Structure 1
Amino acid sequence: MSLARASLAALAVFALAACDGSAAPEAPEPETEAPATPAPAPEAQASGALSLEGEGLRAFTEQGSARALPFGTAQDMTLTAVSTLLGADTPAVTTNSECGAGPMQFAEYPNGLQLAFQDDKFVGWFLDESGLTTADGVGVGSTRTELGSARVVEMIPDSTLGKEFSSGELGGFLTSEAPDATVESLYAGMTCFFR
Structure 2
Amino acid sequence: MISKTSIMHLYKILIFISATLIGCQNKENKSTQTTNTEIGLDTVAGFEESKEKTIDSTATIETINTHKLVLTTNALQLVHRKTGSTIEIPFGKPIDQMIEITTTALQSKPSSIGINNECGAGPLKMASWNNGLTLVFQQKKSDKTNSETDWKFAGWYMGISSGNAQKVSTMAGINIGSTRAEMESAYVITVSQTTLGYEFSTSSGLYGIFDGPKKEAKITSLWSGLSCNFR
Question: 1:62 Cα shift?
Answer: 5.5
Give the root-mean-square deviation of aligned CA atoms.
2.3
Gaps of 5+ in 1: 1-6, 20-41
2:53 corresponds to which residue?
14
Equivalence map 1:104-183=2 (5 Å): 104-119=124-139, 120-129=151-160, 131-157=167-193, 159-167=194-202, 168-183=204-219
TM-score, normalised relative to structure 1: 0.74
CA contact (8 A) 2:112 2:129 kept: no
- Runs of 4+ with deviation above 2 angstroms: 60-65
Question: 1:91 Cα shift?
Answer: 4.1
Provide the secondary structure at the position in 2 that maps to 1:16.
Answer: coil
1:186 corresponds to which residue?
222
User: 2:217 and 2:82 mapped to 1: Cα distance?
Assistant: 37
Distance 1:182 1:92, change over 3 A: closer
User: 2:192 and 2:92 mapped to 1: Cα distance?
Assistant: 27
Question: 1:17 Cα shift?
Answer: 5.6
User: Identity of aligned pairs, percent?
Assistant: 34
TM-score, normalised relative to structure 2: 0.63
User: 2:206 and 2:138 mapped to 1: Cα distance?
Assistant: 19
2:109 corresponds to which residue?
89
User: 1:184 and 1:140 mapped to 2: Cα distance?
Assistant: 6
| Higher RCO (C-alpha under 8 Å, 6+ residues apart) | 1
Q: Which has the larger radius of gyration?
A: 2
Q: State how many pairs are aligned.
A: 160
1:38 corresponds to which residue?
none
Q: Deviations over 1:78-133 (max 9, x none)?
A: 11001000001244420111111111100110100011101110011111136211
Moved more, 53-62 or 169-178: 53-62
Confirm or deny that 1:102 pairs with 2:88: no
